[in-house]
């Protein structure tokens, strides 16, 4: 019996050491798992950054390689006299706010009467035009209707004739047609059709870079004009902000242009986010993705996610602790 006592003590000591080793292994499992998981997150973050760069590189190339409006005109092989009927984008140019006009009711006004509080959508047409000008007006009204903004409340529309023979009566008829396309007769207070004399016409067309030439009509009379199809967005203080060419205009781009021109006084938080992620490209007259800004946002989000995972994985566990092993009673 005396010889068996050392044997029992040795057995108990070995059992205690085995329990301690097992407890130590159990405690070390979460730490090893955290290390493995953190390494996996870091590798995935690196691959995500590489993937984003690969995806946005073609978009970046397309963004900065858009052909200029003048280059497009030359490629179309138009007659030589139409070379003087193009558009020169005078961005940030001050408009002649003192230019005198007559509105559709026959009241004398100045261009500056429609500036001061809201951005202005500006177009230059002539009211006896039977082809291009109605398409420009229809495209502008259709796009403005889809922007979700309201004429008179969020922006002003100014359509100025560059034909001194146009009359206020013609302007009134064109205004009603425009309001019907806009689908909002109550917006009449924010839509203005103007006629003027040659000095005011020249002052406005020079400031906007809008060039036109007189051409013969079907009857041979020089009563028609060749001109560009374009609408412009100006700031409340009367500076040219954006140009949109063609006869159809992307509502999203036009909305962003008005929000930007208003110095962010109109629009929503989503508009401000899109303006941060997009840049206006004067060559194409469109908003395109700002690659560096998008990559910067993606990088910031990735870093925040990694930091959050590091914090969660390095916290001390708050579960139950393993009790210290005690020798069993003999």
Each residue's pLDDT, cut to its tens digit, for the chain (330 residues) gives 444 555 455 555 555 555 554 545 544 445 555 554 455 555 555 555 545 545 544 444 443 333 444 433 444 555 665 666 788 899 999 999 999 999 999 999 999 999 999 999 999 999 998 889 999 999 999 999 999 999 999 999 999 999 999 999 999 999 999 999 999 888 999 999 999 999 999 999 999 999 999 887 776 777 788 888 999 999 999 999 999 988 999 998 899 889 888 886 666 666 566 655 666 667 666 666 666 665 666 677 777 777 777 777 777 666 555 556 555 544
Q: Both 87 and 100 in a single domain?
A: yes
Q: Both 151 and 193 in a single domain?
A: yes
Quickly list H helices, the chain: 4-63, 69-75, 132-146, 168-182, 198-208, 251-261, 269-277, 291-314
Q: Is residue 58 included in any domain, yes or no?
A: yes
CATH number of 247's domain: 3.40.30.10
Q: Which domain holds residue 200?
A: 69-283
pLDDT at res. 188: 94
Q: Both 145 and 267 in a single domain?
A: yes
What predicted TM-score, i.e. pTM, was given to this entire model? 0.65
Asked which of 241, 260, 283 is the last residue of a domain, the reply is: 283
The model's pLDDT over 83-92, given as tens digits with 9 standing for 90+, comes to: 667 888 999 9
Number of separate domains in the chain: 2
Q: Is residue 161 included in any domain, yes or no?
A: yes
The model's pLDDT over 204-261, given as tens digits with 9 standing for 90+, comes to: 999 999 999 988 777 677 778 888 899 999 999 999 999 998 899 999 889 988 988 8
pLDDT at res. 7: 47
Q: Is residue 325 included in any domain, yes or no?
A: no
pLDDT at res. 62: 40
pLDDT at res. 135: 94
Q: Both 276 and 295 in a single domain?
A: no
| Interatomic CA distance for residues 126 and 205, integer angstroms | 13
Q: Both 81 and 197 in a single domain?
A: yes
User: Cα–Cα distances in Å, from 13 out to 5, 10, 23, 327?
Assistant: 13, 5, 15, 8
| Interatomic CA distance for residues 36 and 30, integer angstroms | 10
Q: Is residue 215 included in any domain, yes or no?
A: yes
pLDDT at res. 233: 95
Q: Both 47 and 155 in a single domain?
A: no
| Interatomic CA distance for residues 87 and 119, integer angstroms | 21
Q: Both 44 and 164 in a single domain?
A: no
Q: Is residue 323 included in any domain, yes or no?
A: no
Q: Both 168 and 62 in a single domain?
A: no
Q: Both 261 and 299 in a single domain?
A: no
pLDDT at res. 318: 65
Q: Both 121 and 157 in a single domain?
A: yes
Q: Both 73 and 127 in a single domain?
A: yes
Q: Both 147 and 39 in a single domain?
A: no
Q: Is residue 76 included in any domain, yes or no?
A: yes
Asked which of 266, 283, 300 is the last residue of a domain, the reply is: 283
Q: Is residue 173 included in any domain, yes or no?
A: yes
| Interatomic CA distance for residues 215 and 5, integer angstroms | 123
pLDDT at res. 75: 42
Q: Is residue 269 included in any domain, yes or no?
A: yes
């Amino acid at each position: 019996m005396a010889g068996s006592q050392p044997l029992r003590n040795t057995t108990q000591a070995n059992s205690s050491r085995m329990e301690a080793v097992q407890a130590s292994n159990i405690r070390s499992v979460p730490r090893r798992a955290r290390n493995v998981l953190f390494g996996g997150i870091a590798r995935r973050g690196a691959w995500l950054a590489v993937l984003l760069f690969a995806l946005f590189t073609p978009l970046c190339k397309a963004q900065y390689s858009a052909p200029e409006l003048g280059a497009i005109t030359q490629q179309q092989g138009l007659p030589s006299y139409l070379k003087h009927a193009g558009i020169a984008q005078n961005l940030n140019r001050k408009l002649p706010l003192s230019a005198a006009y007559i509105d559709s009711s026959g009241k004398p006004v100045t261009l500056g009467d429609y500036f001061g509080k809201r951005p202005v959508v500006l177009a230059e047409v002539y009211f006896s035009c039977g082809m291009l000008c109605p398409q420009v007006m229809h495209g502008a009204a259709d796009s403005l209707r889809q922007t979700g903004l309201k004429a008179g409340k969020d922006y002003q529309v100014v359509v100025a004739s560059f034909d001194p023979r146009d009359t206020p009566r013609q302007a009134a008829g064109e205004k009603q047609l425009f309001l019907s396309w806009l689908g909002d007769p109550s917006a009449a207070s924010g839509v203005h059709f103007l006629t003027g004399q040659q000095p005011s016409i020249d002052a406005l067309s020079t400031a906007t870079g809008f060039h036109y030439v007189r051409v013969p009509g079907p009857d041979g009379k020089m009563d028609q004009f060749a001109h560009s199809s374009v609408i412009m967005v100006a700031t409340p203080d009367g500076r040219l902000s954006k140009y949109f060419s063609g006869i159809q205009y992307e509502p999203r781009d036009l909305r962003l242009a008005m929000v930007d021109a208003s110095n962010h006084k109109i629009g929503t938080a989503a508009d401000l986010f899109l303006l941060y992620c997009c840049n206006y490209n004067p060559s194409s007259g469109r908003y395109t993705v700002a690659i560096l800004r998008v990559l910067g946002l993606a990088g910031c989000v990735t870093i925040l996610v990694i930091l959050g995972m590091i914090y969660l994985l390095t916290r001390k566990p708050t579960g139950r602790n393993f009790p210290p092993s005690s020798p069993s009673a003999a």
